[in-house]
Amino acid sequence: MARAPFELAGVRVAPGSRAQIDVPIAKLYTHAPLHIPVEVVHGRQPGPVLLVCGAIHGDEINGVEIVRRLLRSSSIRRVRGTLIAVPIVNVFGFVQHTRYLPDRRDLNRCFPGSEAGSLGSRVAALFREQIADQATHIIDLHTGAIHRTNLPQIRAQLQQGSETAAMAEAFGVPVILNAELREGSLRAYAQSRGVPVLTYEAGEALRFDEWAIAPGVRGVLRVMRLLGMLSASRRRSQPPAAEIANGSSWARAPIDGILRPRTRLGARVAKGQVLGVVADPFGNSEDEIVANADGIVIGMSNLPLANEGEALFHVARFDAIEEAESAVESFQSDYEPLPDTL
C-alpha cells in the first residue's frame, strides 16, 4: 500500500516529494500577513518525523544557515520518514534582529501556549499545533545570546540508554550538557510529551560562525542516520568524541569595568586560574575573575564591557577532563578554528 501524504497547515505533501509551505501566523499592524516558512521532505518509505528548527530566538541566526544547508544537501534526497525544516520560527524577532517577540516575550518561554493568549502564547500554540506536534523527534538550533558565544554543545535530558542520549552522542560535537529544562521552552514541552529533543547551542547571536554552522549540519545528518532516516555513511560511522559535563557554572564580573579576557572558548582551565581581568577605564583599580573549578570554557562574553555580577565565562565541569579536552582538540582539527579572543 502506498504511503499516505503528509499534511501540514492544510497542504498535502505526496510521498517522495518535498514542498515549501507558508504557515500563516498573524498579521502585522499594517495588515500584512506573516508566515512561518516550512519545508517538508516526505520520504517514500515510513520512518520518524524529525523537526529541525532555527531562530526560535529571532537573533540566533546560525541555525537559519544550518537549515538552509541541510535542505540543499544531496544527502536528504532519499529520506525515510519525514523531515520538517523550519529555518525561522520567530519571524517577528528575525525581522527586527532581536531574540524576542514584539510584546517583549521570549517565545521559548511561552510553550505550550494558548490560542486565546497574548501574541507569544498564540505563536507558541500555533507552532505546536501545526508543526511541532507532528514530530516524533526534534532538534532545536540556538546560539549564545547577543555578545555571547558558545562552544558547539548539545543540551538535552540524558537518561542512560534513552533515545535522546543516543541522539546527543551521535550529533558529534565535543560537549554534551545534561541540562535542566526551562519552563515554557520547546524542549520542556516536547520532553513532557515523550518526544526525544536536542538543543544545539553554538556560536553567537547575529553572526554566521562557520565553526558552529558546519558541525551543526553534519550533526543533524548524523542524527538522521542514527534514526534510520538516511542510509549509513560509507565513510567513518563513529561519531567524533563527545564528553558529558557533570555540571557548569558562570564566572561573573567582580566589579563594573572593562574586560580583558585571559582565556578562550574551548580552553581547559584549572581552579583558581585567572579567566579575565576587569578594570576601570584608567586602570586604577582592577580585579581578576577566577575559575572556581577545573573545566572547559564552553561560553563567554564577547563584549569587553561588564557590569558587576554579569556572567562572563561559562565553565563546564567533567569527570573525565582529559577526554573532554581531547574531544575539543579533535573538534578543532575537523573544523574552522574557534575564534581567538586573547
Give yes or no for residue 222 binding Zn ion (CB under 5 A): no
Q: How far is the CB of 200 from Zn ion (least distance, A)?
A: 10
> Distance between CA 41 and CA 19 in Å, rounded?
7
Strands 175-178 and 148-156: parallel
Alpha helix positions (H), the chain? 62-72, 91-96, 119-130, 163-171, 186-192, 210-226, 321-334
Residues 177-206 that bind Zn ion (CB under 5 A): none
Q: How far is the CB of 267 from Zn ion (least distance, A)?
A: 23
**Cβ closest to Zn ion, residue 53 vs residue 226:** 53
Strands (E), the chain: 6-8, 11-13, 17-27, 33-42, 45-54, 80-86, 137-142, 148-156, 175-178, 197-204, 243-245, 247-252, 257-261, 268-269, 274-279, 286-290, 295-301, 305-306, 311-317
> Distance between CA 260 and CA 251 in Å, rounded?
14
Please give the backbone phi and psi of residue 2, each rounded to the nearest 5 degrees, phi first: -70, 150
Binding track over 84-123 against Zn ion, x by CB under 5 A:
----------------------------------------
Number of chain residues interacting with Zn ion (CB under 5 A): 3
Q: How far is the CB of 57 from Zn ion (least distance, A)?
A: 4
Exactly one of 18, 142, 155, 218 binds Zn ion (CB under 5 A); that residue is 142
Nearest to 276 by CA among 294, 292, 264, 293: 264
Residue type, 71: L
Nearest to 258 by CA among 223, 283, 293: 283
| Interface stretch with Zn ion, choices 71-79, 118-126, 134-142, 182-190 (CB under 5 A) | 134-142
| Interface stretch with Zn ion, choices 47-55, 142-150, 234-242, 277-285 (CB under 5 A) | 142-150
Bond from prior residue into 15 cis (ω within 30 degrees of 0): no
| Interface stretch with Zn ion, choices 38-46, 55-63, 80-88, 283-291 (CB under 5 A) | 55-63
Q: How far is the CB of 179 from Zn ion (least distance, A)?
A: 12
Give yes or no for residue 148 binding Zn ion (CB under 5 A): no
Q: How far is the CB of 60 from Zn ion (least distance, A)?
A: 5
Q: How far is the CB of 161 from Zn ion (least distance, A)?
A: 28
| Interface stretch with Zn ion, choices 58-66, 111-119, 146-154, 264-272 (CB under 5 A) | 58-66
**Cβ closest to Zn ion, residue 112 vs residue 203:** 203
Q: How far is the CB of 99 from Zn ion (least distance, A)?
A: 7
Region label for 58, one of left (φ > 0), alpha (ψ between -120 and 50) or beta (otherwise): alpha
Give yes or no for residue 57 binding Zn ion (CB under 5 A): yes
Interface residues with Zn ion (CB under 5 A)? 57, 60, 142
